[in-house]
């Protein structure tokens, strides 16, 4: 994901820092919107995991600020806070993507994390706008929940909830509803599917 413009993102919502680059898509508004959602999901999960790891085990509020290069070009940055506990933590992070693996925009991620002996879980909501794959996608309280076993191969589930809207220029627009989508990582199956119109 990537933030374009001057970096001001109004707390991750309504990217007021500049124009979000929608990039080039396939011309299919529904597919391009879903591709952007998948990229945001992946990148925010990575960022949340990094932020929690960077907070350490101190039982106090920790301010987090990380910037880095993206494998496919561009940069990402996230900042905010993690309030660690044992065995849980809460977090409030703002992500900015600037040409990062072809994504541009900003999102705010708020949630919580808990770890056990053999598993961990985290859940959060995403708000903001991200461009990529020919669409600028608006996230409004889009929720993700992850329950993973600490084993190889990985076991667990990813749950998605909420709707997003993609403005895909000449390809039109799409609203995709992810309510009740549950992906079983263990078996590679899913219950429910995104519904786009």
Domain residue spans of the chain: 10-139
Nearest to 48 by CA among 94, 99, 104: 94
Q: pLDDT at position 52, please?
A: 74
**Region 28-46: what's the mean pLDDT?**
87
Give the pLDDT score at 7. Answer: 32
Eight-class DSSP state of 47: H
pLDDT of residue 155 exceeding 80, the answer is yes
DSSP string, 123-137: EEEEEEEEEETTEEE
pLDDT > 90 in the chain, percent = 39
Specify the pLDDT at position 120. Answer: 82
Q: pLDDT for 43-64, tens place per residue?
A: 887 788 777 777 665 545 778 8
Provide the pLDDT for residue 1: 31
Average pLDDT over residues 91-102: 90
- Return the structure tokens found at 137: 């996608």
Residue 125 Cα distances to 24, 105, 140, angstroms: 27, 16, 8
110 pLDDT above the threshold of 70: yes
Q: 104 near 98, Cβ under 8 Å? A: yes
Q: Can you tell me whether residue 120 is helix, strand or coil?
A: strand
The secondary element (H helix, E strand) that includes residue 55 is: helix 29-55
Q: Which of 17, 30, 7 is nearest to 137 (CA)?
A: 30
């Amino acid at each position: 994901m990537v933030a374009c413009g001057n970096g001001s993102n109004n707390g991750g919502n309504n990217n007021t820092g500049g124009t979000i680059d929608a990039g080039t898509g396939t011309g299919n508004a529904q597919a391009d919107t879903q591709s952007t959602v998948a990229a945001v999901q992946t990148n925010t999960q990575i960022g949340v995991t990094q932020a929690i790891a960077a907070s350490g085990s101190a039982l106090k509020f920790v301010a987090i600020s990380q910037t880095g290069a993206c494998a496919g070009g561009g940069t990402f940055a996230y900042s905010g806070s993690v309030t660690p506990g044992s065995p849980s933590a809460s977090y409030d992070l703002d992500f900015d993507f600037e040409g990062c693996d072809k994504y541009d925009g900003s999102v705010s991620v708020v949630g919580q994390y808990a770890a056990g002996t053999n598993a961990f879980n985290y859940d959060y909501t995403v708000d903001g706008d991200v461009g990529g794959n020919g669409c600028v996608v608006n996230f409004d309280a889009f929720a993700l929940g992850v329950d993973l076993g600490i084993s190889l191969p990985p076991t667990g589930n990813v749950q998605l909830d909420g709707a997003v809207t993609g403005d895909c220029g000449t390809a039109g627009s799409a609203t995709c509803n992810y309510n009740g989508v549950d992906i079983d990582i263990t078996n590679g199956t899913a219950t429910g599917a995104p519904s786009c119109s």
